Amino acid sequence: MLYDKVILVTGGTGSFGRRFTETVFKNYKPKKLIIFSRDEFKQSEMAKQFSPSEYPIRYFLGDVRDKQRLDRAFSGVDYVVHAAALKQVPALEYNPTEAVRTNVIGAENIVNAAVDAGVKKVIAISTDKAVNPVNLYGATKLVAEKIFIAGNVYSDVTRFTVIRYGNVVGSRGSVMPLFLDFKKKGIKQFPITHDQMTRFWLSLDDGVNLALRAISEGTGGEIFVPRISSMRITDLAKAIDPECEFKIIGIRPGEKLHETLISEDESRETCLHNGAYIVLPQFSSGDEARKKYQNAQKMSAGFIYRSDINDQWITREDFQRIVAQMTEAQ
């Protein structure tokens, strides 16, 4: 699939980009992998692990807000994985125009640059917060999803597919590193927004594998949603420190009690295929996708994929094993 291909990852110095790079070099032989990001320090740190002298990798400084820079970076690229985004909910509520410039205008720039360069496929990474959004981050990612899906009408060459998933275990900005730091410092009182709060969780490898699947299977316009597990925030805290106590601080502005990966309104366009839900496109350019999945299991009207009514759950014991594995790997 990726043999002798040129792949570019926006936001490639983040946790997803680094694991994606590691997986690609371990399992494939690409012609070149381009890391496109705006932080030269993170690129220099990543180059210590993936040196251009040892790997077919190139580091490209740039911002998705800059269409001209994207035009230069996309020249000769076969596949793009778009992971760059501003995603800290409180910060984006306070800086809304910055969120729009990166997450929305940046998405438009990716579409236009990919079409202009004749890129084969673009895989855009989205989030459960894009479904029925209540905060600016989710709203910008919803608009980005729409931009990428609509991008399929602009070219017969370039195909755009979206992957949408929940919280990544141990990712920067998630609650897990915060609680681990509390445990390390001996802090016993953990701040919990709500004792009934649930979230979807998946591993970094699951996210990378979903992107690779979308590259392999995507025909354009689909949204790939993995079947992943839920966990209560209180169980997560107890898995990290069984002796911790909770301080209920209340749900923050722009935060949901439970997250949704597929809304009821999307149910009529959703099917289940090989362990993942696929929300099918409604544009005429999505005919190929609808034909490809015509025999897949159709979801019933009114189906909702929400973290509190999920049929898969992570137990405290399971999460403790995950934490132990991550600690050993560090």
Give the residue numbers annotated as catalytic, written as ranges: 129
- Between the alpha carbon of residue 212 and those of residues 49, 208, 215, the distances in Å are 22, 6, 5
- How far is C-alpha 69 from the chain's CA centre? 23
- Between the alpha carbon of residue 246 and those of residues 10, 194, 195, 260, the distances in Å are 38, 10, 8, 25
- CB–CB of 254/93 below 8 Å? yes
- How far is C-alpha 286 from the chain's CA centre? 22
- How far is C-alpha 213 from the chain's CA centre? 13
The total number of residues written for the chain in this structure = 330
Angle between helix axes 233-240 and 316-329 (nearest 10 degrees) is: 50
* Pairing, β 159-165 against β 121-127: parallel
Coil vs helix vs strand at 325: helix
